[in-house]
Chains A and B, each alone.
Chain A
Amino acid sequence: MRPIDDYVENKVNGAFGYADKLDLRTLDQIIWVGAAIARALMNKRVVFHVKDGTTLDALVHSSYLEGSYGQPLISMLDLSNAYKQFALHPDCRRYSVIALRSPVDQSSPCFEGRVLPFGATASVVHFNRCSRLLQHIGYQLYLPWSSYFDDFPVVTPNVWAESTMSAMTTMLDLL
């Protein structure tokens, strides 16, 4: 079990409006990429139809065709302290006050949060804006990955496993 702060009862979530429809097709993306790699290895040719209408078509590089070098592997990188990496606007701290019942006396101490609160609708939208940007920055490093909140699943040919993992961690350390 993990604690989640209740922003429904105190109506904070009701006072947030937005229009971003978060498409979290992470699993579809990862499975699709895995299947696409397997198909390319089988045909020794990689053909993708890009949504802008162009077709990418080339032979698979010979190094992937030896042994199990090309076999797709799936791994996951999990950002630590996801929501706690981003600050709450000072004007909104007063909406992020958690009241807890004291285990020792009858008091109910209150704590004012400084970070994106877990349980607020807005946190979901804001955090996914950040993780979607990280995902796309990763494409500059040829990271075949996706994102789901603070999870970054990656699918990569076997021969690449170590290099890919180290590129992922270096990038996140740098940013």
Chain B
Amino acid sequence: MDDEFKSNFDAPSKIEGTEQQQPDGPPEAKSRERPTANTGPVLKPLVIEICAGTAMLSRCFQEVGFDVMAVDHTHNRFHPLAHICTLDLTLTSSWEFLYYVVRNFPVCFVHAAPPCGTCSRAREIHLGGPTQPRPLRSSEYPHGLPQLTADEQARVDAANSIYRQMSEFLLFCSRHNIPWSVENPARSYLWETEWMLRLQEVAQFFYFTACAWGSNRPTKKAFLSTLPDMFRLEAECPGNHQHEPYGRTRDEQGKLIYATAEEAAYPRILCVQIRRIVQEALNLFPEHSHAVPGFVTNNAAGATAMRLQPRGRRMPPLISEFVAFQTITAKDAPPLDSKSCLTKPWHHLPAHAKMLSLEVLSGECGEDSCKQIRYKFGIFRGPKQWIDDAIQLKHPFDLYHAVPDELLRVVFEILSLGPAEIANRRTAKLKQWISLAKSLELEEAKLKESMEPGVAAILRPKRILLWRSVAEQMEWPDHQLFEEIVEGFKIVGLQEPSGVFDLEPRPPSFSPESLDDAIKFLRPAILGKVKSASVDEDAPETMGHHLRRGLAFKLDERALIGGDRLPGGRQAMASGA
């Protein structure tokens, strides 16, 4: 072993079974060519947590460099640890947005913890008092008992709506090779609903006692997952701690708190284990990445080139912290110093390697002496290797800038070819476009005739087909653009990504249908506000200009009574803002 590691500091170039550094990227099953106008970065793998609650799981994934989308509703009772994407999961439009995310983002894992309140068998335990919750489901009636009160029926219907849509969504994920898991108490009636039975055809159950993973009570939990490695969650109570009682207590405001509700929040230790399982099963370690042009967003790159390092993880280190990682399973404890680094070589690992995590493997015999522990170590570069790697780096001004390659080539050719050659090329290209425009004239006229008259009036001066031909020659990725220009742009609904920009999901707060439902309330409120507003002296002139140019049309006031028009007010904004 000593021969293998001549220097205790210099890490070996390759260790068998070692994960080599890899830039973060989407999992292989989801990798796709995404032609963008500015060579956009490969996106980080995205984890979706449905009914996130505290969002502890999302937080844990976020800490190691994943993008996360923690979804919950506005009444979420927990204080979340990650940014929550507020969606009402009883609505179809919310699920449409999640399908949209799966279609457009490198989603690598989905976890769902659907609400179990209506499915709980704890309702069958008599606690006494006037507020005794009563069972809403049974094995015979997993979708809801007959003769529920209207209030109970509404709760069951809302939960069923989530279960049904969640089941369809997870099956969609399976078809896209995206692994998922669903968590609920092991005895929850949820598992007996037709929607979960359908999921059980493609996934398997893994059971554990909650207190084995940091909870205060020995609640039996079930994970239904398509990831076979989730067996590493299976664990019983180790019997080395006291359990808190079940039942209910009152909080400071006198509100009843049920122990089962407290148990719904995931302890950190459980989330770390889930993260470990998912990362190892999918071989995704975005935290180990170092900066590579093309893996950094345009915004982060632009700032870096101009000597402003962006905050947080937007710009990974130019040289990653570790050169390699290795996982060791051993019964003996590693010799570590106070910084968790090896004080001497151990199990083929060089001295100074840093222990990053340890996991007690299940199935151990119970005695400490024969416990198998899986250690994960990060191996540092030695001083020489560090310098060798550092001198290979180019200055961030040259590599991490926001300038698209096309613009670089333009500047390069202008500077290297000289004015005469560029002038010739410009003239030739313009002549080519003029001739193309002429050949498209007839077709252009026909296109304008086929347009809706109001749209045609606005687009009259444009040579739409010339734009389209030039864009097609350039293989411009925004294929939808011309159809949308010709039909007119929409300002409500879900807009498919253009392929031109980096991606970031911006969910709508509600669907256009919900907006239409609200018009009858919004319209009188807005018109009332406008009537009480101060008079804008410039308004007649501005609107007159719009009317003369056909950019707007004055409506008969009666047009707003009933009908589906939604008015809006107007505000003043500082010019140039």
Using an 8 Å CB-CB cutoff, how does the interface string of B408-423 with A read, 1 for contact, 0 for none? 1111111111110011
Cα-based distance from A66 to B363 in the complex (angstroms):
79
The reply to whether A174 and B437 form a contact with Cβ atoms under 8 Å apart is yes
Task: Determine how close the nearest CB of chain A comes to the CB of B474; give it in whole angstroms.
Answer: 6
Instruction: Give the most central of B407, B504, B551, B563: most A CB within 10 Å.
Output: B407
Residues of A113-130 whose CB lies within 8 A of B: 113-117, 119-123, 125-126, 128-130
Known: A126-B489, A174-B437. A10 touches B481 (CB 8 A): no
B566 within 8 A of A: yes
A67 at interface (Cβ–Cβ under 8 A)? no
Q: Least Cβ distance of B161 to chain A in Å? A: 20
Cβ contacts under 8 Å, B470 to chain A: 137, 140, 175
Q: Mark B145-182, 1 if CB is under 8 A from A, else 0.
A: 00000000000000000000000000000000000000
Q: Are B412 and A46 in touch, CB under 8 angstroms?
A: yes
The segment from B215-223, B231-239, B294-302 found at the interface with A is B294-302
Interface residues of A in 89-125 (CB under 8 A from B): 89-103, 106-117, 119-123, 125
Chain A contacts for B494, CB-based, 8 A? 17-18
Q: Chain A nearest CB: distance from B283 CB in Å?
A: 25
State whether the Cβ of B466 lies closer than 8 Å to any Cβ in chain A.
yes
Convert B492-530 into 0s and 1s, putting 1 for each residue whose CB lies closer than 8 angstroms to a CB of A. 111101101111111111111011001000100011011
Known contacts A101-B530, A142-B414, A3 near B402 by CB under 8 Å: no
Find out whether the CB atom of B481 lies under 8 angstroms from the CB atom of A133: yes
Q: How far is the CA of A170 from the CA of B457 in the complex (A)?
A: 23
Interface size on A, residues (CB 8 A): 110
Known: A108-B530, A109-B554, A109-B557. A6 touches B414 (CB 8 A): no
B407 touches A29 (CB 8 A): yes
Contacts of A2 in B (CB 8 A): 572-575
Most buried by B among A12, A94, A110, A170: A110
**Interface size in chain B (residues, C-beta < 8 A):** 135
User: B500–A114 contact, CB under 8 A?
Assistant: no
Asked whether B104 is an interface residue with its Cβ less than 8 Å from the other chain, the reply is: yes
Cα distance A22–B500 in the bound complex, in angstroms: 9
Tell whether, in the assembled complex, residue B492 and residue A12 are in contact, meaning their CB atoms are under 8 Å apart: yes
Contact among A17, A31, A48, A52 for B495, CB-based, below 8 A: A17
A82 contacts partner chain B, Cβ-Cβ < 8 Å: no
Judge if B252 is at the interface, Cβ distance under 8 Å. no
Q: Which of A122-175 contact B (CB under 8 A)?
A: 122-123, 125-126, 128-130, 132-133, 136-137, 139-146, 156-157, 159-160, 163, 167, 170-171, 174-175
- B498, A129: Cβ atoms closer than 8 Å: yes
Question: Is there an interface contact between A12 and B411, defined as CB atoms closer than 8 Å?
Answer: no
State the CA gap A125–B502 with chains docked (Å).
12
Residues of A within 8 A of B452 (CB): 90
Q: Does any Cβ of A come within 8 Å of B394's Cβ?
A: yes
At the interface, yes or no: A79 with Cβ under 8 Å from chain B?
A: no
Output the nearest chain A residue to B423 by Cβ-Cβ distance: A163
Which of A35, A49, A91, A97 has the most chain B CB atoms inside 10 A of its CB? A97
Nearest CB of A to B412, in Å: 5
**B116-124, B311-319, B373-381, B538-546 - interface stretch:** B538-546
Question: Judging by beta carbons under 8 Å apart, are B567 and A136 in contact?
Answer: no
Min distance, Cβ B416 to any Cβ of chain A, angstroms: 4
Q: When each residue 28-69 of chain A gets 1 if its CB lies under 8 Å from chain B and 0 otherwise, what string results?
A: 110111011100100000101111100010111111100000
Candidate in A50, A84, A107 with the most chain B CB atoms within 10 angstroms: A50
In angstroms, Cα B386 to Cα A85, docked, is: 55
A94 contacts which of B484, B518, B527, B565 (Cβ < 8 Å)? B565
Q: Is the CB of A20 within 8 A of B490?
A: no
B2: Cβ under 8 A from any A Cβ: no
Q: Which of B1-50 contact A (CB under 8 A)?
A: 37-39
Asked if A175 meets B537 with Cβ closer than 8 Å, knowing A11-B518, A50-B408, the reply is no
**Shortest distance between the CB of B214 and any CB in chain A (Å):** 36
Contact A61 to B565, CB < 8 A, known contacts A1-B572, A23-B501: no
CA distance A60 to B403 in the complex (A): 20
Q: Which residue of A lies closest to B556 (CB)?
A: A110
For B530, the chain A residues whose CB sits under 8 A away are 99-101, 108
> Given A29-B407, A108-B530, A133-B478, A159–B419 Cβ distance below 8 Å?
yes
Q: Which of B405, B425, B563 has the most CB of A within 10 A?
A: B405
Q: Within B555-573, which residues are at the interface with A (CB < 8 Å)?
A: 555, 557, 559-560, 563-573
- Name B474's contact: one of A94, A137, A174 (CB within 8 Å): A137
Are A32 and B403 in contact, CB atoms less than 8 angstroms apart?
Answer: yes
Complex alpha-carbon distance, A63 and B416, angstroms: 10
Most buried by A among B105, B530, B536: B530
Indicate whether A3 sits within 8 Å of B459 (C-beta atoms), given known contacts A12-B492, A15-B493: no
Would B552 and A98 count as touching, CB distance under 8 A?
yes
Task: Enumerate chain B residues within 8 angstroms of A56, measured Cβ to Cβ.
Answer: 408-409, 412
A18–B500 contact, CB under 8 A? Answer: no
Interface string of B436-462 (1 = CB under 8 A from A): 010000000000000010110111001
B470-497 vs A, CB cutoff 8 Å, 1 = contact: the mask equals 1100101010010011011111111101
Assess whether B97 is interfacial by the CB under 8 Å rule: yes
CA distance A106 to B536 in the complex (A): 13
For residue A159, which residues in chain B have a CB less than 8 angstroms away from its CB?
419
A17 close to B402 (CB less than 8 A): no
Known contacts A60-B415, A142-B414, A114 near B553 by CB under 8 Å = yes
A-B contact pairs, 10 of them (CB 8 A): A2-B574, A29-B402, A58-B416, A89-B487, A90-B488, A112-B553, A122-B491, A136-B406, A140-B474, A157-B415
- Contacts A91-B490, A92-B490, A93-B454 given; 19 further ones with Cβ under 8 A? A9-B529, A10-B567, A11-B515, A11-B518, A15-B492, A15-B512, A17-B493, A18-B506, A25-B302, A28-B302, A28-B306, A56-B409, A94-B563, A98-B568, A110-B559, A111-B553, A129-B500, A133-B478, A163-B419
Kindly list the 5 A-B residue pairs having the minimum CB-CB distance in the complex, ordered from nearest: A61-B418, A17-B508, A25-B402, A89-B488, A25-B302
